[in-house]
Amino acid sequence: VLNINYSGLSYLRRGITVANFYIDANKDNQDSTVDAVYINNVMQVRLINLHIANAKRDGIHIENSEDGYVIFCEIVSCDRHGFFSNGALYELEHVGAEQNGNRGIYLLGDSNVVVDCWAISNGGHGFMIEGGERNIIDRGLQGRPSINSKE
């Protein structure tokens, strides 16, 4: 649906920002490999105020990328993970994952920070950080806050 893929480059592309979108990936009309947002080989990714729903695979899938900031995003009803990243140095703040088929928020990699995020009624783990070092989870929220409250 939104595919930013610089896999052919020998370096990381710098500075991608996606902000203020509602994305309905319409999973009934997609094949099994489609993520709502797919980003590959990018440094300094910024995802701000996104509402993502109904992906056949992941809501947000970030691969081989680093130094990212994801804030005020909701990911709901995707068939696999709500948010997946195998990159390093990601900060997630006020990110919610609900009713996704597997994990709500799934991070592989080092030095990731998760603050004021929530995961509700996902098919697998709500939060999963696998491998890596220096990862921080702070103030996991009880229940679902208003995404626009910015408190």
> How large a percentage of the chain has pLDDT more than 90?
64
pLDDT in tens, 89-118: 899 999 999 999 999 999 998 889 999 999
Residue 69 has pLDDT above 50, yes or no: yes
Q: What is the pLDDT of residue 49?
A: 98
Considering the chain, what is the average pLDDT of its residues? 89
Q: Looking at residue 125, what DSSP letter applies?
A: -
What pLDDT does residue 146 have?
55
Count other C-beta atoms under 10 Å from residue 35's C-beta: 25
pLDDT of 87 above 70: yes
Neighbours of 28 (CB within 10 A): 7
Instruction: Say yes or no to pLDDT of 151 above 60.
Output: no
Q: Tokens representing 85?
A: 């990243």
Tokens of 28: 């009934």
Residue 59, classed as helix, strand or coil, is: coil
Residues 24-51, mean pLDDT to the nearest whole number: 93
Q: What is the pLDDT of residues 125-148, one digit of tens each?
A: 999 988 878 888 886 655 666 555
Question: Under a CB-based contact definition with an 8 Å cutoff, are residues 34 and 59 in contact?
Answer: no
Contacts 24+ apart (CB under 8 A), 80-89: 80/55, 81/105, 81/106, 82/58, 82/119, 82/122, 83/58, 83/59, 84/58, 84/60, 85/60, 85/61, 85/109, 85/112, 86/62, 87/62, 87/63, 88/112, 88/132
How much is the pTM? Answer: 0.90
| 99 burial type by CB count under 10 A (0-12 exposed, 13-18 middle, 19+ buried) | middle
Q: 85 vs 13, 29, 45, CA distance in Å?
A: 16, 25, 12
Q: Render pLDDT for 11-23 as a digit per residue (tens, 0 to 9).
A: 778 889 999 999 9
Residue 150 has pLDDT above 50, yes or no: no
**pLDDT above 90: residue 149:** no
